[in-house]
Structure formats: structure tokens, C-alpha cells
Amino acid sequence: MIKVRPSPVVAVLCAGFAMAQDKPAPTPVTKSPQAAIAAAMAKAKAHNKCVLVVFEQQDNKLCAELAKTMKAHRDLSTLLRYEFDVATVDATAAADEAKARDFTAAKEVPALLVLSADDKVLGKFTAKDFVEGDALNTASLIAKLKELKSAPLDAEKVLAEGLSTAKKTNFRVFLRFDAPW
């Protein structure tokens, strides 16, 4: 099908919660930061979302807490599912990706970079922005990410654009209604 791509926008995330875990579970870190970011960007472009790049390091307790919170915290996980495509990268391996976006502080893990679907830097956060003491401040993280999320598209305009494309190409419109959940 011909994809009608909505214009890109940005997103949200975060919060605080202290989880005392003696030995944090290893966090999944991709071996290919460039590929992970590119894949997230392609998905974000198709859905009018933002990209959240999470810079991590294996065996870092806060990184493990953040990874766990991103999945388990209801508001944060919902915000991420609705508004962001997430790419988790190893901070050392992704040094070039960070440098290219003027985010050398990404080595202070966990660090977060919010990008538009066309690779514009929208926000940069290091641990000091969403950590209090030795615990995540999830509420603060969510607030910061919400400020960056994409503006919603107008469904009538999206449909009109699809019909206009169909008219020009003598195609049919295969219209799907769906939701992120």
C-alpha cells in the first residue's frame, strides 16, 4: 500500500521511584546503536511519534531501574507506548551517535535523548534531570517527556489526504482504525 505519512511530532516519559534491588538485572542494550535509532525513527515517522534514545551501560543500577520502570510504571509505559519509539543503546558504543547530536553528556548514564522522526533534537536529559538521591523521579521524567510529545494529527485531514492520493493514482483507500494499545 502507499503509506500516507503524517507529519512527525514529539513525545513524553518518566517518573520517580526508588527500587532497592541489591543486584539489578542486566538491561538489554543493543550492539548497533545506529541501526536501533534508525529503526525507531522509521517507526516514529509512520506514526507521528518521537524517538526516545536511552543511553545505558550494563550493570549500572540506575539504568536497570530505569529499564524496569519504563516497562512497569503504568503512566510512563503508557506514555512511551503512545508517543515514543524507544531505542536503547550502549552509551560507549553510541558515543558517535551522541556526538553527532551534540550530546556528549550521554555518557553520564542513564541519559535520554528525544528526537523528532526527522532526527531533530528535541530534548536532552542526563541522570541529574530525573534522579533524586539514588532513585528515579518518575513524575519528573513523565512531565519532561510530555512536553516534547508530538501534536496530534487531525483524522479528517489524514483521511482527506489519503482520498486525494487515491484520486490521483486511481487507487482505493484501505482505511484502518486502530489504537496504540
Binding-site ranges for other proteins (CB under 8 A): 1-4, 47-48, 82-83, 152-156, 158-159, 161-163, 165-167, 169-181
Whole-number Å distance between alpha carbons of 26 and 122: 29
Least gap, CB of 162 to other proteins (angstroms): 4
What is the distance of C-alpha 157 from the center of its chain? 25
> What angle in degrees, to the nearest 10, is found between the helix axes of 74-83 and 61-72?
80
Least gap, CB of 91 to other proteins (angstroms): 30
48 or 116: whose CB is closer to other proteins? 48
**177 Cβ partners below 8 Å, 6+ apart?**
none
Least gap, CB of 22 to other proteins (angstroms): 37
Strand partners, 50: 84
120 or 157: whose CB is closer to other proteins? 157
**Whether the Cβ atoms of residue 89 and residue 115 lie closer than 8 Å to each other:** no
Least gap, CB of 117 to other proteins (angstroms): 14
| Burial profile 5-33: b = 16 or more Cβ within 10 angstroms, e = fewer | ebebbbbbbbbbeeeeeeebeebebbeeb
Cα angle value 110/116/118 (rounded, 5°): 125
20 or 155: whose CB is closer to other proteins? 155
135 or 158: whose CB is closer to other proteins? 158
3 or 74: whose CB is closer to other proteins? 3
**Whether the Cβ atoms of residue 59 and residue 21 lie closer than 8 Å to each other:** no
Least gap, CB of 65 to other proteins (angstroms): 28
